[in-house]
Structure 1
Amino acid sequence: MPNGHHLFIFTSHTQASYEHFPDITSESVRVRLSQFTEMRKFITKMTENAKSSDIILLCGDLNVNGRLNKDEGKIHSEEYKAVYSILKGNLSVVKDEKNNGFTDETSETAEYEVEDLFYNKFNEHLVTSCDLFPDDYYKDGKGKKSRKCLDYFFKFTKLNYKDNQDDQNIEENDNNSSSTLSIEDLTLNTFDVTDKKFVHLSDHYGLSLNIVDNK
């Protein structure tokens, strides 16, 4: 990256749920929340020496439906709100191997400021799931059309980076054109296919963005 900046990209594919809108107490959701806790801990470990100007991204098919229901994408689902708290560091869901359950741990102090880049851009959880085949392929004449938002780009900003660095070095680093890097061109790609039995390349739409040096 320009001027000594670093780009940290983390990607994952968490536990899926096989019901359309699972309750937040369901087994699959609890497993998924514990995976997000492990994910945040890993990100914290790997970015221990990151500067405030470094870019930290988490992206992928995270299997968390951010939409409240099929038709409402502006309001966050309960699971999404829990995941957001976990990524910030205010909540941890830890698997209790001894009792075969999960324990919730809370913290009043967050580790990160977390931005959902696509939600912030479009003011909505975009639909990222789709049917691979046209309606007439399915027995009932229609596909699932579940209209879920399962794919994300989260940007992390460390809130306590000053604790581990000299203040003078931080100021020098921050003045080192940190503001010249921007995230642009956030795009949802449907990857439509013609003249085939299937109508999309995947049952998920793609998300893409560009990191631009404006210097």
Structure 2
Amino acid sequence: MLCISFFALFLFSFLLFCAIFFSPASLPSPTVPDKTTDSHARLLTLNIFMRPPGVKNNWSDYKDDRLEYIMDYILPEYDIIAFQEAFAFASRRKDRLIRRARELGFNYHVESPRHYPWELAVDGGLLLISRFPIRQSDTIEFPRGTHSDWLAIKGALHALIELNPSRSLHVYTTHTQASYDLFNVINQGDTEIRLSQFARLHQFMSDTAGNDGFPVMVMGDLNVDAATHGEGIAITQPSKESSREYRMLMDVLRGTGIHGLTEKGDMSTAVFEHPWKLDLTDVIYDHYGYHPVTFGDYEMDDRGNLRPAETVLTDSDQLMTVQNIDRMLWAGRSTPVQIVDPKVEKFMVKDNLNMDEERRARTAFTQISGKFLTLTARRRGRNEILSFSRYVFQTWEVLIFFFFFFTRSLRFKLRHAIESIKSICKSHQRNQADYRSCYHYR
């Protein structure tokens, strides 16, 4: 009887704890009227690197401090925001962010479905908030990924946002399978998973946007490096060429599919081809004429030497990798609206003119996220202009998340090391067999 009572008490405590820390928190009623506009709107996409408790690259990633910074200095500046890596698992940080946004007039939000410990799963970390009414919202979840991504049930969000009674906008955000490359050998398994996720995202857009004629914006951390890298190419040289995986990404999201996946190029049909087509364009690349760095950037010191632009949040093996992995893709469809003057911004603490010197001096991070660049854009059509502008934990958090992440993470790392060694061996064998490339699809 004593054992039964103890078990019942433990079960009740566990369920109560899950109800408090895993279920969505209640929100206050809106106090600011819904926004409507026929002049301008500001849109932001940002990976805030707010991972579950206990997960960090370095000694601390200052989750709570960065969250306060985002709420104080980022939220007030925008109208529609798409966050990636805003995880809700075993933490109330995401709820604090949504609550503060509600107080500032973001009366609508869509988020990744939440998961409980017994599912051995973490939510996808996506959050979309809007000052404008969201007339329709949808979510999808991808099949589990690989490596550490097996734990996070990634997916995509959709919101049909009403800017005014006569104009609406489809907004999609996603965060796809991460890359677990070793020695710059592209991990084919990760790439194939991402392509399948892009195909599911395209089907999701077909189901929700269809042929209603409203423009479409797709944005987020797509984990595909669009830049090209090679021996003899300085990291200071902008990448005007597009990587092979980036071209495949665009083909899948457009619905045209990928041709010639094998070295011989003898495929008669395109893989991931879809009957519904969407003429997506990369507004950032079209503006700059090259793929600007959005992760692993560099800066130059007074003597002209290069150094990492961010070291507090970025993992050591990703410093100065000058990657372009964040996207803002636009399809105006039949509307007269055009994107003009897009730009890439750094959210650097030292450049924040609204921050007093006392707070700046006690701020331990240099950017709000390891993915520290954001994409912004403006659009113009007829007589209207719409501007679109685009990551200390507590002891209990570590104890909760330790079992659900670190034990499995160790297994992933061991398996990844074995897979990487196999990949290198296979690459060596293909080179010996005189193959032109050690990286192809079957």
Q: TM-score over 0.5 for the alignment? A: yes
8 Å contact from structure 1 (residues 192, 201) kept in 2: yes
Which residue identity does 2:328 align to in structure 1? F
Number of aligned residue pairs: 179
Question: Runs of 5+ in structure 2 lacking a partner?
Answer: 1-162, 230-234, 260-269, 297-308, 351-360, 384-442
| 2:331 matches 1:156 | yes
Paired position in structure 2 for 1:165: none
User: What is the CA–CA distance in structure 1 between the aligned matches of 2:274 and 2:347, rounded to whole Å?
Assistant: 42
Distance 1:138 1:154, change over 3 A: closer
Q: Structure 2 CA distance, aligned partners of 1:2 and 1:88? A: 28
In the alignment, does 2:29 pair up with 1:29?
Answer: no
CA shift in 2, pair 1:143/1:22, >3 Å? closer
Check whether the contact 2:222–2:326 (CA below 8 A) recurs between aligned residues: yes
Q: C-alpha separation between the residues in 2 aligned to 1:107 and 1:37?
A: 8
CA distance in 2: counterparts of 1:138 and 1:60, whole angstroms: 20
Matched to 2:374, the amino acid is G
Q: Which residue does the alignment assign to 1:83? A: 249
Question: What SS class does the counterpart of residue 247 from structure 2 fall into?
Answer: helix
Structure 2 Cα separation of the partners of residues 15 and 114 of structure 1:
21
Q: Show the counterpart of 1:58.
A: 218
Computed over aligned residues only, the root mean square deviation of the Cα atoms, in angstroms, reads 3.1
Question: If the length of structure 2 is used for normalisation, what is the TM-score?
Answer: 0.36
CA deviation profile, 1:105-138 (whole Å, cap 9, x unmatched) = 254977122211000010011100135327xx99
The alpha-carbon distance between structure 1 residues 197 and 18, as it changes in their structure 2 partners (threshold 3 A), is farther
Corresponding residue for 1:207?
A: 375
Which stretches of structure 1, 4 residues or more, deviate above 6 A after TM superposition? Answer: none
Taking only the aligned residue pairs, the percentage that are identical comes to 22
More strand as a share of residues: 1
Letter in 2 for 1:189: E
Q: Which has the higher contact order (CA 8 A, sep 6+)?
A: 1
Which residue is 1:192 aligned to?
348
Quick check: which has more Rg, 1 or 2? 2
Corresponding residue to 1:113 among 279, 286, 307: 279
Residue 209 of structure 1 deviates from its aligned partner by 1.9
| Partner secondary structure for residue 240 of structure 2 | coil
TM-score between the two structures when normalised by the length of structure 1: 0.71
Structure 1, gaps ≥5 residues long: 94-103, 159-173
Q: Aligned partners of 1:138, 1:125: CA distance in 2, in Å?
A: 22
Query: Which of residues 19, 25, 40 in structure 1 aligns to 2:202?
Result: 40
Separation in 1, partners of 2:369, 2:331: 28
Question: C-alpha deviations, 1:132-155, integer Å up to 9, x for none?
Answer: 327xx998xx97111000111111
2 CA distance for matches of 1:30 and 1:107? 15
Residue matched to 1:125: 291
The answer to which structure has the higher helix fraction is: 2
Instruction: Give distance in 2, aligned partners of 1:29 and 1:72.
Output: 24
Distance (whole Å) between structure 2 residues aligned to residue 29 and residue 133 of structure 1: 27
Contact 1:133 1:197 in 2 (8 A): no
